[in-house]
Amino acid sequence: MSFPWAEQYTPKNPVMVWIDDKLPLPRLAYNAVGAGYPVPRNLNYFWNFGVLAGLALMIQIVTGVIMAMHYGANDLVAFSTVEQTMRDVNAGWLMRYAHANGASFFFIVVYLHIFRGLYFGSYKAPREMVWLLGLVIFLLMMATAFMGYVLPWGQMSYWGAKVITGLFGAIPVVGEPIQTWLLGGFAPGNASLNRFFSLHFLLPFVIAGVIILHIWALHIPGSSNPTGVEVKGPQDTVPFHPYYTAKDGFGAGVFLIAFCALLFFAPNFLGHPDNYIEANPLSTPAHIVPEWYFWPFYAILRAFTVDFFFVPAKLLGVLAMFASILLLFFLPWLDTSPVRSGKYRPTFNKFFWILVIDVLILGWLGGAPAEEPFVMMSQVAAAYYFAHFLIILPLISRSEKPLPLPGSITEAVLAKYGKTDGATVAVPAE
């Protein structure tokens, strides 16, 4: 796939020849993640996060399937079966803590993966489809994470379900029937818990399917790289295996060390104590907050406190929250600069970092209580978020004068290591 000089799979073992003839699955793996996939030679560690996200999904599926073996999806027993998993099931505590913290790590690596895409312009032609599919995965992840958080049937589970399904109730006319339909009742109950369990089990496999499409779409143009200059010939690439399997393997080691540090030493650091109280429809926790990975979006939701033009504030907040993600689907066409990498775009670079800080502030505000000065700050930060994508980005794409780009990936690599002699352009080592 991808480049004409990609090595073709040539099995020598007669068994492999026989298999390749009947079902070329080894060939597929070889072309996708083996020596048959040439990759730009200059990828930095930011290019690890796709593989790490895949690893995080595997951890979630394995621990999740195991958790499902010990879980009872019924509002009478759900809370106690989760406690039972924690206390009585052999290694149940490990499975549950790994699953709960695994979700956080999944979002950490995905957010870094998105950060990489935004900074290095990976969403631009010819990789728009890769970006769009990535956003679909992100939306599916959010739905899965939300429904998973309801399953332990603690106070935060219950009230989170109530608040999030309440968002749909903001839609005029059809909102309330939709909310009742989603919940299977007038408030979260047994019916809601059961359907959330069913979908929470299903969606990760849908995610796995969209990941296959995401990788497929990536392999048509081939991977992007930190210079944003397209591959020009075989000297610009190295085979995925062993070069990037090794580099990703190292990244996976670092990832697992960080994961284990949280898992074994502070497993409840990212959780909420209220979720160890069983769901009680008659008592709202004093401070309802979603999990940290939803905070920026929650801040945008709460930023709307007054009605505009007869549109109620509640509906505006809901629309803005969904718009903040849907907006990203238009990013490849909002940023019209032909230069991909933020490294060579001095103006973009500055505004990019302001955006990163803005999103971090939104995240902090989403976790803060709904009172002043946080509400006002959310309004400013949310407004800036939209302004960045809708006004600033299109403007700087037009006016900015980019820095000179290197002639090729190889030239950039050699320049970095002080070898400017273009005549001895290296052929990658075998």
Partner 1 sequence: MAIVEHTDSTGLSGDDGVRRRDFINIAAVSFAGVGAVAVVLPLIDQMNPSADVLALASTEVDLSAIQPGQAIKTTFRSQPLFVRQLTEKEIAEADKVDASTLRDPQTLEERTVDGKKQWLVTMGVCTHLGCVPLGAGEGENKGEYGGYFCPCHGSSYDTAARIRKGPAPKNLEVPKFSFTSDTAILVG
Site residues for partner 1, 195-224, by CB under 8 A, read 195
The CA distance from 133 to 206, in Å, is 12
- Distance of closest approach, residue 78 Cβ to partner 1, in angstroms: 16
Q: Helix (H) and strand (E) counts for the chain? A: 17, 2
Burial 306-320 (b: 16+ CB within 10 A, else e): eeeeeeeebbbbbbb
- The single residue among 77, 191, 220, 246 that binds partner 1, judged by CB under 8 A, is 191
Under the binding rule (CB under 8 A), the answer on residue 162 touching partner 1 is yes
- Distance of closest approach, residue 375 Cβ to partner 1, in angstroms: 9
The CA distance from 133 to 237, in Å, is 25
The CA distance from 326 to 322, in Å, is 6
- In 3D, which of 7, 29, 6, 23 has the Cα closest to residue 245? 29
Phi, psi of 239 (to 5 degrees): -70, 145
- Distance of closest approach, residue 111 Cβ to partner 1, in angstroms: 25
- The single residue among 14, 186, 265, 398 that binds partner 1, judged by CB under 8 A, is 186
| Structure-derived torsion over alpha carbons of residues 298, 303, 307, 309, reported in degrees to the nearest 10 | -100
DSSP state of 336: -
Residue with Cβ nearer partner 1 (187 or 395): 187
- Distance of closest approach, residue 166 Cβ to partner 1, in angstroms: 4
Under the binding rule (CB under 8 A), the answer on residue 184 touching partner 1 is yes
- In 3D, which of 336, 324, 322, 325 has the Cα closest to residue 128? 336
Q: How far is CA 345 from CA 52, 350, 400, in A?
A: 28, 9, 7
| Structure-derived torsion over alpha carbons of residues 352, 353, 356, 358, reported in degrees to the nearest 10 | -100
Under the binding rule (CB under 8 A), the answer on residue 371 touching partner 1 is yes
- Distance of closest approach, residue 81 Cβ to partner 1, in angstroms: 21
Q: Catalytic: 75?
A: no
Under the binding rule (CB under 8 A), the answer on residue 163 touching partner 1 is yes
388 in a labelled binding site: no
- The single residue among 11, 26, 54, 166 that binds partner 1, judged by CB under 8 A, is 166
Residue with Cβ nearer partner 1 (185 or 338): 185
- The single residue among 202, 205, 268, 287 that binds partner 1, judged by CB under 8 A, is 287
Residue with Cβ nearer partner 1 (288 or 361): 288
Q: How far is CA 359 from CA 107, 111, 304, 352, 383, in A?
A: 15, 11, 17, 11, 11
272 in a labelled binding site: no
Residue with Cβ nearer partner 1 (182 or 213): 182
> Quick check: 331 and 389 in contact, CB under 8 A?
yes
The CA distance from 106 to 33, in Å, is 21
- In 3D, which of 354, 404, 428, 40 has the Cα closest to residue 226? 40
> Quick check: 235 and 428 in contact, CB under 8 A?
yes
Under the binding rule (CB under 8 A), the answer on residue 16 touching partner 1 is no
Residue with Cβ nearer partner 1 (186 or 269): 186
Enumerate the β-bridge partners of residue 308. Answer: 311
- Distance of closest approach, residue 184 Cβ to partner 1, in angstroms: 6
287 in a labelled binding site: no
Under the binding rule (CB under 8 A), the answer on residue 282 touching partner 1 is yes
Q: Catalytic: 198?
A: no
Residue with Cβ nearer partner 1 (320 or 396): 320
Under the binding rule (CB under 8 A), the answer on residue 277 touching partner 1 is no
Stretch that binds partner 1, among 5-13, 99-107, 253-261, 277-285 (CB under 8 A): 277-285
| 3-class state of residue 98 by DSSP | helix
> Among residues 223, 224, 337, 378, which one is catalytic?
223
| Structure-derived torsion over alpha carbons of residues 288, 293, 296, 298, reported in degrees to the nearest 10 | -30
Residue with Cβ nearer partner 1 (71 or 168): 168
Site residues for partner 1, 301-320, by CB under 8 A, read 302, 304-305, 307, 312-315, 317
> Among residues 124, 162, 247, 388, which one is catalytic?
247
- In 3D, which of 16, 51, 12 has the Cα closest to residue 240? 51
Q: Catalytic: 248?
A: yes
Residue with Cβ nearer partner 1 (341 or 378): 378
113 in a labelled binding site: yes
241 in a labelled binding site: no
Q: Catalytic: 287?
A: no
> Quick check: 296 and 362 in contact, CB under 8 A?
yes
- Count of residues that bind partner 1 according to CB under 8 A: 36
Under the binding rule (CB under 8 A), the answer on residue 266 touching partner 1 is no
Q: Report the catalytic residues.
A: 219, 223, 247-248, 291
Q: Which residues of this chain interact with partner 1, rule CB under 8 A?
A: 159, 162-163, 165-167, 169-170, 180-182, 184-187, 189, 191, 195, 281-284, 286-288, 302, 304-305, 307, 312-315, 317, 370-371
